[in-house]
Amino acid sequence: GDRLLDVKDLKVSFRTYAGEVQAVRGVTFHLNKGEVLAIVGESGCGKSVTAQTLMRLIPTPPSYIKSGSILFEGKTDIVKLSNRQMEKIRGSEMGMIFQDPMTSLNPTMKIGEQITEGLIKHRGLKKKAAVQKAIELLKLVGINSPEGRIHQYPHELSGGMRQRVMIAIALACSPKLLIADEPTTALDVTIQAQIIDLMKSISEKTESSIIVITHDLGVVADMAQRVVVMYAGKIVEQGTVDEIFYDPQHPYTWGLLRSVPRLDTNSDEELIPIPGTPPDLFAPPKGCAFAARCPYAMKACLEEDPEHTPLSETHSAACWLLHPDAPKVERPVQIGG
């Protein structure tokens, strides 16, 4: 089909001295070929662990995949691959862009060598062809005079340029899957907007499917087609960007929309942080994990975790307010006016 990834009931836990932390508690979603999917939520919601698990980058032990499957191109279950098979797929079919380029670029290697490394190792290119490709990639990510840049070291570049180099490295082997974990968080606002534009143009120019992990809904509005909202290790709502921005149904999504500035509007809407903190994932609550922070929490919310209610072919949310017998509440967000 046209799905690159099909994730079913994925559960990931961490063994710690104090016990098991259930970081990801059964997430089900898919990624279409060529699309940009955003996974959104506060820190600790399981979004990074989910993304790292897709590439099997979570440290094992202490973390482990408890259950679930991750079907890659409808046939390979990432969960079941050996480390060796996984290494091969990761190098050639997957690319990762991290928040801080300084921690993932090698400070002692010229950037040209860092880009050509994968091309030589995974694509069998000769040195000269790899250098040529590195120059093309640097052009693609908007770096001027790439012929000179390939001889420079990471510390000779600005933060925004280092992020572009990291994107070039991630793109080198034309990965089918590109995962960007908070790709703009460490950058100032102007550079953030440039990197978002770049990621957008990459999704248009290449065939890579992209997953963007972010707490910032501004990033999402500008580059993603669909959004998955996570809270306390579960997906609480998912839909197209329009459905999430203009017709959100989960109180947590309402809270996120009110608490995060958006890059695409100049409105002076007041930003209201969501009060309270997420639950402890040593002992997740029996009912809805958002209940302690939710102004609409009812008796049912404390007793049983709501299932997802389908709202359209692309949209669903897990909240008791969507039950036919639930009281009608006034939606606190006016988005898009």
Interface segment toward Mg ion; rule CB under 5 A; list 7-15, 40-48, 65-73, 106-114? 40-48
- Which tokens is 262 given? 């958006």
- Looking at the Cβ atoms of 168 and 318, the one nearer to ligand SF4 is 318
Q: How far apart are CA 106 and CA 26, in angstroms?
A: 35
Q: Which does 290 bind (CB under 5 to 8 A by kind): Mg ion, ligand SF4, none?
A: ligand SF4
By the 8 A CB rule, do 231 and 306 touch? no
Q: How far is the CB of 199 from Mg ion (least distance, A)?
A: 17
- Looking at the Cβ atoms of 271 and 329, the one nearer to ligand SF4 is 329
Restricting to residues 204-233, name those near Mg ion by CB under 5 A. none
**SS3 of residue 333 by DSSP:** coil
Q: How far is the CB of 307 from ligand SF4 (least distance, A)?
A: 10
- Looking at the Cβ atoms of 235 and 301, the one nearer to Mg ion is 235
- Looking at the Cβ atoms of 49 and 289, the one nearer to ligand SF4 is 289
23-to-10, 17, 268 alpha-carbon distances in Å: 10, 15, 35
Q: Provide the sign of the torsion angle of the four alpha carbons 90, 177, 175, 106, taken in this order.
A: negative
- Looking at the Cβ atoms of 101 and 146, the one nearer to Mg ion is 101
Q: How far is the CB of 182 from Mg ion (least distance, A)?
A: 6
Amino acid, res. 246? Y
By the 8 A CB rule, do 255 and 236 touch? no
Q: Name every residue whose Cβ is closer than 8 Å to that of residue 309 and which is 6 or more positions away in sequence.
A: 316, 317, 318, 319, 322, 323
Q: How far is the CB of 235 from ligand SF4 (least distance, A)?
A: 13
DSSP 12: E
What is the DSSP secondary-structure string of 163-197?
HHHHHHHHHTT--SEEEEESTTTTS-HHHHHHHHH
Q: Which does 291 bind (CB under 5 to 8 A by kind): ligand SF4, Mg ion, none?
A: ligand SF4
Q: Which does 320 bind (CB under 5 to 8 A by kind): ligand SF4, Mg ion, none?
A: ligand SF4
Chain positions contacting ligand SF4, by CB under 6 A: 250-251, 288, 290-291, 294, 296-298, 301, 306, 319-321
Q: Which does 48 bind (CB under 5 to 8 A by kind): ligand SF4, Mg ion, none?
A: Mg ion
Q: Which does 333 bind (CB under 5 to 8 A by kind): ligand SF4, Mg ion, none?
A: none
| Tokens 């600005």 sit on residue | 158
Q: How far is the CB of 252 from ligand SF4 (least distance, A)?
A: 6
State the Cα angle at 63 between 43 and 233, rounded to 5°.
35
Backbone angles phi, psi at 307, to 5 degrees: -80, 165
Q: How far is the CB of 236 from ligand SF4 (least distance, A)?
A: 7
Helix (H) or strand (E) holding 212: strand 209-214
Q: How far is the CB of 295 from ligand SF4 (least distance, A)?
A: 8
Q: Which does 170 bind (CB under 5 to 8 A by kind): ligand SF4, Mg ion, none?
A: none
- Looking at the Cβ atoms of 203 and 238, the one nearer to ligand SF4 is 238
Evaluate the omega torsion of the peptide bond into residue 327 and state whether it is cis, within 30 degrees of 0: no
DSSP 278: P
Q: How far is the CB of 103 from Mg ion (least distance, A)?
A: 13
Q: Name every residue whose Cβ is closer than 8 Å to that of residue 75 and which is 6 or more positions away in sequence.
A: none
* CB-closest chain residue to Mg ion: 48
Q: Provide the sign of the torsion angle of the four alpha carbons 162, 44, 177, 248, taken in this order.
A: negative
- Looking at the Cβ atoms of 195 and 230, the one nearer to ligand SF4 is 230
- Looking at the Cβ atoms of 26 and 91, the one nearer to ligand SF4 is 26
- Asked whether position 48 contacts Mg ion by CB under 5 A, the answer is yes
Binding site for Mg ion (CB under 5 A): 48
